[in-house]
A and B are shown apart, each in its own frame.
Chain A
Amino acid sequence: MLFDSEILQITVLSLQVSAFATVISLLIGLPFGTWLALGNFRGRSFILSIINTGMALPPVVVGLVVAMSLWRSGPFGDLRLIYTPWAIVIAQTIIATPVVTGLTAAALESLDPRLQQQLLGLGASRGQMIWHLWREARLPLLAALMAGFGSVISEVGASMMVGGNIRGQTRVLTTAIVLETSKGEFERALALSTLLLVLTYLINLALTWIQQRGAKR
């Protein structure tokens, strides 16, 4: 039996954890990226360069640092979060946030700068202006969301280190693939990989559909 209740549980957990992390990274990255794109202050390109480096943050490095902080011996050990799904959410949020931030900033910077002046000139408040800019840049912003989700659903190093790949508790699709491979169960590993790819495809299909519908309006 290839698709049993255990695989269902693993799949649901993967989606929950990565969706959670993506939403949190969106809540942080969208305002932060907007601030970076519209702001005009010293050190702006420096912060942008840091964020752009963060987009290539290796998941294992994030995993190591998060694990060390959450271990009992670490500064946040008292929270007792290590080897729980929340630990994976934390690590994945750290991985996805620079991606969402960086792409948000790039999306807004690619808009015609005169649009900003025009909106303000028409008497829009700052909040109204940002809202309008987001609407204007909704295509690349959705792409930022997709990239953020893609970076965490496919990530294995951090999930393995901070989640522990515990069966029934913190095992997600990618860590299950590593495990089945290490057991020599290549067919099962391949089946899980296919499942992961199909799921990622369906989610991106849905987002692309929303994106393209928005484009035609």
Chain B
Amino acid sequence: MKNPFLFLLIGLFVLVSCNPASSQNKALLLVSTTSTQDSGLLDVLLPGFTEQTGYNVQLVAVGSGQALKLGEQGNADVILLHSPVAEKEFMANDFGIDRRLVMHNDFVIVGPVSDPAGIRGQTPVEALESIYASRLTFVSRGDDSGTHVKELALWKNAGLDPAGQDWYLETGQGQGATLSIASEKGGYALTDRGTFLAYKANVDLEILVEGDPFLLNVYHVITVNPAKWPRVNLEGAQAFAEFIISPQGQQVIAGFGLEQYGQPLFFSDADKTDADLGLP
């Protein structure tokens, strides 16, 4: 080869033409919240689905805010998320055609083992009052995610507004990064239990407040309305929704985490109704 540049160009061309994404028609675009990905649940759930149905799932894990926006704009076939109030609005605006209860886990308030604000065993509202009064660091997601929405609702219930306080940090990042920051800063944070258990080994934090009915974190699966966006893969979306609420899918959910953490991270709820979990 006389010209090395020509050789390079040919090499690049060969590289580009070897595109692995060949089976596009069986691709299913699943948009989910970061918590389901960070906890590792989808890593065990999706292979089973792919094996059974042949759909190749493209998983996009984002905050609930973006998940719903992506659905509204037709950039998702099926959505799995935990932001019930925003989901209702999404359904009311006809962006989704089918919304099914899948599972729940719960939120917990975590903080340093020394617990300088003394919130251990308090109710969520009392705990926030203690943190507010002591002006100790609280690390918020600050990203419009389901967890962030829940946290804001908790502050509202306590009749407090932490916005703008110098001890109130907004990370604008996923749960894992937020926990790392809380750990490094010796602060408190609201988190879903699943992500916390998955990160527990890497952070210096402990569960201090748990078990309150207000702290339930309920997941629904929503099929995006193909009438709005014809390119939505309706068949795939329905197959996924059916799989995740099928006995097989629910069994995977209920068993997930038992071995590694000694407790389940999610509770299967396909046989329940929203009212059973105290949702409107």
Contact yes or no, B68 A179, CB < 8 A = no
A166 to B, closest residue via Cβ: B169
Given A167-B142, A183-B63, A183-B144, are A160 and B173 neighbors across the interface (CB < 8 Å)? yes
Contact yes or no, B65 A165, CB < 8 A = no
B135 within 8 A of partner (CB) = no
A70 to B, closest residue via Cβ: B184
Task: State the CA gap A166–B63 with chains docked (Å).
Answer: 17
Contact yes or no, B70 A166, CB < 8 A = no
A71 within 8 A of partner (CB) = yes
A214 → chain B closest CB, angstroms: 32
Contact yes or no, B169 A169, CB < 8 A = yes
A22 → chain B closest CB, angstroms: 25
A43 within 8 A of partner (CB) = no
Number of A positions contacting B (CB below 8 A):
23
A175 → chain B closest CB, angstroms: 7
Contact yes or no, B65 A184, CB < 8 A = yes
Contact yes or no, B184 A71, CB < 8 A = yes
Contact yes or no, A164 B62, CB < 8 A = no
Q: Which of A83, A167, A169, A176 contacts B184 (CB 8 A)?
A: A83
Contact yes or no, A164 B173, CB < 8 A = yes
Task: State the CA gap A179–B65 with chains docked (Å).
Answer: 11
Task: State the CA gap A61–B189 with chains docked (Å).
Answer: 27
Q: Which 5 A-B pairs have the closest CB atoms?
A: A184-B69, A179-B172, A167-B170, A184-B66, A183-B144
Contacts A160-B177, A166-B181 known; list 13 others, CB within 8 Å: A83-B184, A164-B173, A164-B177, A165-B171, A165-B173, A166-B170, A167-B169, A167-B171, A167-B172, A168-B170, A179-B143, A183-B63, A184-B69
